[in-house]
C-alpha cells in the first residue's frame, strides 16, 4: 500500500464524498416529500390521483436508478427539460426514493387504528387537523425503521452518479485506477469513504429498530 | 318545561340490507341523563355514532341546534404519542383556538377532580385501563360539550376498575350535565339515569323512569332482557357460598 | 411534431441489438439467482445453528456485503482482484461473482428470517403429536418457511435484475451500453435518439421487472 499516494489523493476523495452526501441527502429530503404526498393520497383513496400515484410507484420500483438517471440526464433535455448533473442526481434519488418512502409511510398510516380518526373527529378536529396532530405523528414513528432502511438504501444507490459524469466517489476511484494503476489504494479509499458515510447511518438504523421494537411512547 | 337540547326524528340506519336503527324518535332535555340498554347488536352504539355524526344516516334527522357533542369510547382512544395533558389540551388549543394557559389550568383542575393530577405528564401506555378512561372523559369534557355520549366505557375494563370510572360519571350527572350513556352496568344505570331507553331490533321497545323500568318492565322483551342480568346476579351471589 | 428520436430503433437490427443487450443482463441475473438461491438456503440455515463461531463468521459476511453499494463490490472484484491475483476476469464473470456473493447473503438473511419467524409452539405441538424431528421439518416447518420465503425471494430476483444495470460500469456490453452505442452511431441523423432509446430501455426494464413484482405481491397476499 502506497501511503503517499493515499495522502495525496485524500482531498480528492473528501470532495467527492461531500458531493455524494450532499446530492444524496437533498434527494432523500425530496424523496420524503414525494413519499408523504403519495402516502396521503393513497391513504385517503383520492380518485385519479391514487391511480397516478400507484402507476408512479410501480414505475419507480421496477426500474433501476441508473436507467432512470440516463433517461433524466440524456433523454429529457431532448424534449426541453434540461438539468445540471447535480439536479439530475437529486431528481433521480427523489424519483426512486419517493416510492419507497411512500410505501413505508403508507403502512405506518394504515397501522393507526381508524377509530383514532373518529376520536379526533369527536373532539371537533377537521381532517387536516386529524392528519397533522393525530395520525401523522403516530404513522411517522412506526415508519422510522423503514425510513432509515430506505435512507441507507438510497445512499448506497448514489454510487451510480458517476454515470452522469458527477465527480462522486466511484468516479474518483475509477479515474485514479485508469490514470495511475494504483488499484489497491484507490479501492481502499473508496471503501473507507463509503464506510464513513454508511456505517453511522447503518448503526443508527439498528439502534432505532431495536428501540422502536421494544418500546413505545413515554419510555 | 325543560329546554330541549337534542331531537332525533325517525332515525334510520342500514348496513347493506340490514336495518340497524329503524325509525328512532327521541328527544333529550338539557341536564337529562339518558341510559340506553339492550341486547348486543340492538343498535345502541350505532345510535350514539349517528348522533355524533360518525355514521351517515339513511333517513330521518338529528337536530342539535349547534350544541356541541363530546364522546367517550369503549377503547379510550387516547392519542398514544401525546402525554395525558397534551391529549386533553390538543383540541381546545388547536381546534377551538383557546388560550393555552387557561386550557392547561382547566385541564389540571379536571384531572384533579378525577384523581389523576399526578399523571398529567405520563403517557397513555403508562396508565391502567381505568385511568385511561378517566383521562378520556376529561379530554371530552375539556372541549366543553353540551351533550356527552358514553359508549360502553367500562366494557373493556377489569372489574376492579369499573367503579372509579362510574364514580366520575355519577359526579358529572350530579353537576347537571346532559349525558347519553350506553352501558351493561344495570345497577349503575338504575342509579344514574333520569330515563332508561330499552332498544331492541333497531326500535325503542320501552322507555321510562329507571325504577319503573327495572322493577316493573312493561314489555315481554324487556322482561326477558332483564332476566339475563338477574341470572348473572344469581351466579355472582352463588359464588360466595 | 416533437421528435422523440424513436425512429433509430427501427433502423437495421437496432431493436434486436437492444433486446440482446437486455438478454445479457437477464442472463447474468438468471445464473446468479440459480447459484445464489441454494447457497442462500445453506447460509440462512447455518445462521440459525447454535454454534457462536459459525454465526459470527456469517454475520460478518452478511454485514460486509450488505453495507457496501453493489457497484463498489463490482469494482473491488473487477479491478481489485485482477490486480491482486493477477488473473484477467471478464466483466461478466466478475458480475456473476458479485451477484452470487450478494444474492447468497440476502437470501441467507431471508431464510434465517423465515426460519426464526416460525413460532416455537409449532415445534412443541408437533412433538406433542408424536412427530419425529425429521417429520416435523418435512410436514410442519419447511412448508411454512417456504410460503414466507417464496414471495420475498421473488422480490430479490427483481432487485437483482435491476442491479444488473450496473455491470455497464465495468465494461459489460448490456442493454444500456448497446443503447449508448446506438445513440452515438446515429448522433447526426437522429439527434434526439437519446430520448427515445433510453425511454425504450426504461420501458423494457419495467416490462421485465413488473410482472415478477406482481407475482411476488400476489403470492404474498395469498400465503402470508
| A70 Cβ contact partners less than 8 Å away, ≥ 6 residues apart | A163, A164, C176, C179, C198, C201
Dihedral of the alpha carbons of A25, A28, A30, A33, in degrees to the nearest 10: -130
Q: Is B191 exposed, middle or buried (0-12, 13-18, 19+ CB in 10 A)?
A: middle
A138 part of contact set with chain B, CB < 8 Å: yes
Pairing of strands B59-63, B4-15: antiparallel
Average pLDDT, chain A: 91
Interhelix angle A85-111/A49-61, nearest 10 degrees: 120
**Interval C184-211: pLDDT, tens:** 888 888 888 889 999 999 999 999 999 9
**Interval A38-97: pLDDT, tens:** 999 999 998 999 999 999 999 999 999 999 999 999 999 988 888 999 999 999 999 999
Which residues of chain B make contact with A141, given a CB cutoff of 8 A? 81
Ordered DSSP codes for chain B: -PPEEEEEEEEEEEETTEEEEEEEEEEEETT-EEEEE-STTSSHHHHHHHHTTSS--SEEEEE-TT--EEEE-TT----TTS-HHHHHHHIIIIIS---HHHHHHHHHHHHHHTT-GGGTTS-GGGS-HHHHHHHHHHHHHHT--SEEEEESTTTTS-HHHHHHHHHHHHHHHHTT-EEEEE-S-HHHHHHH-SEEEEEETTEEEEEE-HHHHHHS--SHHHHHHHHHHHHHHHHHHHHT-
Of B49, B91, B122, the CB nearest to A123: B91
Q: What is the interface size between A and B, counted as CB pairs within 8 Å? A: 68
Best probe of the C interface among A78, A155, A184, by most C CBs < 10 A, is A78
Q: Which residue of B has its CA nearest to A132?
A: B94
Residue B37 near residue B44 (C-beta atoms within 8 A): yes
DSSP state for residue A177 in the 8-state scheme: H
Of C72, C199, C202, the CB nearest to A194: C72
Query: Residue C110 pLDDT > 70, yes or no?
Result: yes
Q: Which residues of chain A have pLDDT under 50?
A: none
Which residues of chain A make contact with B68, given a CB cutoff of 8 A? 124
Residue C26 near residue C212 (C-beta atoms within 8 A): no
Q: What is the interface size between A and C, counted as CB pairs within 8 Å? A: 114
Query: Residue B221 pLDDT > 80, yes or no?
Result: yes
Cβ within 8 Å, pair B140-A129: no
Of B77, B95, B125, the CB nearest to A124: B95
Residue B12's DSSP bridge partners are: B22, B59
Per-residue cell: B200: 331492541
pLDDT value of position A89 = 95
pLDDT value of position B163 = 92
Measured in angstroms, the CA of C132 and the nearest CA of chain A are apart by 35
ipTM of predicted assembly, 2 dp:
0.89
What proportions of chain C, in percent to the nearest 5, are helix, strand and coil? 85, 0, 15
pLDDT value of position B1 = 56
Measured in angstroms, the CA of B125 and the nearest CA of chain A are apart by 7
Lowest average pLDDT, out of A33-47, A68-82, B77-91, C132-146, goes to: C132-146
pLDDT value of position B239 = 46
Residue C159 near residue A32 (C-beta atoms within 8 A): no
Residue C5 near residue C190 (C-beta atoms within 8 A): yes
Cβ within 8 Å, pair C68-A199: no
pLDDT band at C223 (very low <50, low <70, confident <90, very high): confident
Measured in angstroms, the CA of A195 and the nearest CA of chain B are apart by 35
pLDDT value of position B231 = 59
Which residues of chain B make contact with A133, given a CB cutoff of 8 A? 79, 90, 94
Question: To the nearest whole percent, how much of chain C has pLDDT over 90?
Answer: 53
Cβ within 8 Å, pair A124-B124: no
pLDDT value of position C188 = 84
pLDDT band at C83 (very low <50, low <70, confident <90, very high): confident
| A218 Cβ contact partners less than 8 Å away, ≥ 6 residues apart | B83, B122, B123, B124, B125, B126
Which subunits sit against B, judged by 3+ Cβ pairs under 8 A? A
Query: Residue C134 pLDDT > 90, yes or no?
Result: no
Residue B182 near residue B44 (C-beta atoms within 8 A): yes
Best probe of the A interface among C21, C71, C117, by most A CBs < 10 A, is C71
Average pLDDT, chain B: 90
**Interval C20-51: pLDDT, tens:** 999 999 999 999 999 999 999 999 989 988 88
The span from the CA of A72 to the CA of A81, in Å, is 8
The span from the CA of B184 to the CA of A55, in Å, is 50
**Interval B153-179: pLDDT, tens:** 999 898 889 999 999 999 999 999 999
Lowest average pLDDT, out of A44-53, B68-77, B188-197, C4-13, goes to: C4-13
pLDDT value of position C86 = 74
Tell me which residues of chain C have a C-beta less than 8 Å from any C-beta of chain A.
2-5, 67-72, 75-76, 79-80, 82-84, 158, 162-166, 168-169, 176, 179, 183, 191-192, 194-199, 201-202, 205-206, 209-210, 213
A194 part of contact set with chain C, CB < 8 Å: yes
Please report which residue ranges of C9-141 form alpha helices under DSSP H.
14-47, 52-67, 70-75, 81-85, 91-116, 120-128, 133-135
Domains of chain A: 3-214 (1.10.3720.10)
**Chains C+B touching (3+ CB pairs under 8 Å):** no
| C119 Cβ contact partners less than 8 Å away, ≥ 6 residues apart | none
Measured in angstroms, the CA of A155 and the nearest CA of chain C are apart by 9
pLDDT value of position A218 = 58
pLDDT value of position B240 = 40
The label of the residue with cell 336503527 reads B21
Of A58, A158, A184, the CB nearest to C210: A58
Is the model's pTM score more than 0.95? no
Query: Residue B46 pLDDT > 50, yes or no?
Result: yes
Ordered DSSP codes for B182-209: E-S-HHHHHHH-SEEEEEETTEEEEEE-
Tell me the longest C-alpha to C-alpha distance in chain C.
Answer: 77
pLDDT band at B241 (very low <50, low <70, confident <90, very high): very low
Domains of chain C: 6-223 (1.10.3720.10)
Amino acid at each position: 500500500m502506497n501511503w503517499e499516494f493515499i495522502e495525496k489523493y485524500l482531498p480528492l476523495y473528501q470532495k467527492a464524498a461531500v458531493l455524494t452526501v450532499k446530492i444524496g441527502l437533498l434527494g432523500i429530503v425530496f424523496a420524503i416529500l414525494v413519499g408523504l404526498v403519495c402516502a396521503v393520497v393513497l391513504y385517503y383513496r383520492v380518485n385519479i390521483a391514487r391511480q397516478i400515484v400507484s402507476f408512479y410507484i410501480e414505475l419507480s420500483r421496477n426500474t433501476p436508478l441508473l436507467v432512470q438517471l440516463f433517461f433524466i440526464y440524456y433523454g429529457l433535455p431532448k424534449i426541453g427539460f434540461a438539468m445540471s448533473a447535480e439536479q439530475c442526481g437529486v431528481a433521480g434519488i427523489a424519483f426512486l426514493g419517493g416510492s419507497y418512502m411512500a410505501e413505508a409511510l403508507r403502512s405506518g398510516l394504515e397501522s393507526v387504528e381508524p377509530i383514532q380518526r373518529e376520536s379526533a373527529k369527536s373532539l371537533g378536529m377537521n381532517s387536516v387537523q386529524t392528519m397533522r396532530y393525530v395520525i401523522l405523528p403516530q404513522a411517522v414513528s412506526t415508519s422510522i425503521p423503514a425510513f432509515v432502511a430506505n435512507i441507507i438504501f438510497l445512499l448506497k444507490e448514489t454510487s451510480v452518479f458517476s454515470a452522469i459524469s458527477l465527480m462522486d466517489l466511484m468516479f474518483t476511484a475509477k479515474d485514479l485506477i485508469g490514470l495511475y494503476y494504483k488499484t489497491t489504494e484507490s479501492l481502499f479509499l473508496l471503501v473507507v469513504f463509503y464506510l464513513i458515510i454508511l456505517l453511522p447511518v447503518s448503526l443508527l438504523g439498528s439502534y432505532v429498530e431495536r428501540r422502536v421494537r421494544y418500546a413505545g411512547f413515554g419510555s | 318545561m325543560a329546554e330541549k337540547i337534542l331531537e332525533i326524528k325517525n332515525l334510520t340506519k342500514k348496513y347493506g340490507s340490514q336495518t340497524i336503527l329503524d325509525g328512532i324518535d327521541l328527544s333529550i332535555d338539557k341536564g337529562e341523563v339518558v341510559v340506553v340498554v339492550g341486547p348486543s347488536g340492538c343498535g345502541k352504539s350505532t345510535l350514539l355514532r349517528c348522533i355524533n355524526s360518525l355514521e351517515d344516516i339513511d333517513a330521518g334527522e338529528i337536530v342539535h341546534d349547534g350544541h356541541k357533542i363530546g364522546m367517550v369510547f369503549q377503547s379510550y382512544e387516547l392519542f398514544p404519542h401525546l402525554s395525558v395533558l397534551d391529549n386533553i389540551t390538543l383540541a381546545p388549543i388547536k381546534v377551538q383556538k383557546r388560550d393555552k394557559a387557561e386550557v392547561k389550568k382547566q385541564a389540571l383542575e379536571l384531572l384533579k377532580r378525577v384523581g389523576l393530577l399526578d399523571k398529567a405528564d405520563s403517557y397513555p401506555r403508562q396508565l391502567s385501563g381505568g385511568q385511561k378512561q378517566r383521562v378520556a372523559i376529561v379530554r371530552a369534557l375539556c372541549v366543553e360539550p353540551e351533550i356527552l355520549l358514553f359508549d360502553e366505557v367500562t366494557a373493556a375494563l377489569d372489574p376492579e376498575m369499573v367503579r372509579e370510572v362510574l364514580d366520575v360519571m355519577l359526579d358529572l350527572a350530579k353537576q347537571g350535565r346532559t349525558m347519553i350513556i350506553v352501558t351493561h352496568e344495570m345497577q349503575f344505570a338504575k342509579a344514574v339515569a333520569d330515563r332508561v331507553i330499552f332498544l331492541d331490533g333497531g326500535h325503542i321497545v320501552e322507555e321510562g323512569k329507571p325504577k319503573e323500568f327495572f322493577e316493573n318492565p312493561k314489555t315481554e322483551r324487556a322482561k326477558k332482557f332483564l332476566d339475563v342480568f338477574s341470572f348473572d346476579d344469581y351466579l355472582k351471589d352463588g359464588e360466595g357460598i | 411534431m416533437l421528435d422523440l428520436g424513436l425512429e433509430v430503433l427501427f433502423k437495421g437490427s437496432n431493436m434486436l441489438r437492444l433486446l440482446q443487450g437486455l438478454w445479457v443482463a437477464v442472463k447474468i441475473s438468471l445464473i446468479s439467482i440459480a447459484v445464489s438461491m441454494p447457497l442462500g438456503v445453506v447460509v440462512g440455515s447455518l445462521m440459525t445453528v447454535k454454534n457462536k463461531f459459525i454465526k459470527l463468521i456469517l454475520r460478518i459476511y452478511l454485514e460486509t456485503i450488505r453495507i457496501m453499494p453493489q457497484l463498489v463490490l463490482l469494482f473491488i472484484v473487477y479491478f481489485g482482484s485482477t490486480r491482486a491475483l493477477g488473473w484477467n476476469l471478464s466483466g461478466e464473470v466478475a458480475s456473476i461473482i458479485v451477484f452470487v456473493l450478494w444474492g447468497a447473503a440476502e437470501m441467507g438473511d431471508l431464510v434465517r428470517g423465515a426460519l426464526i419467524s416460525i413460532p416455537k409452539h409449532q415445534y412443541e405441538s408437533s412433538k406433542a403429536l408424536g412427530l419425529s424431528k425429521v417429520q416435523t421439518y418435512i410436514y410442519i416447518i419447511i412448508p411454512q418457511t417456504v410460503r414466507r420465503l417464496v414471495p420475498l425471494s421473488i422480490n430479490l430476483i427483481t432487485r437483482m435484475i435491476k442491479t444488473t444495470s450496473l455491470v455497464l460500469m465495468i465494461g459489460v456490453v448490456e442493454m444500456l451500453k448497446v443503447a449508448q452505442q446506438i445513440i452515438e452511431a446515429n448522433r447526426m441523423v437522429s439527434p434526439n435518439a437519446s430520448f427515445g432509446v433510453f425511454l425504450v430501455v426504461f420501458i423494457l426494464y419495467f416490462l421485465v421487472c413488473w410482472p415478477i413484482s406482481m407475482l411476488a405481491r400476489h403470492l404474498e397476499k395469498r400465503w402470508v
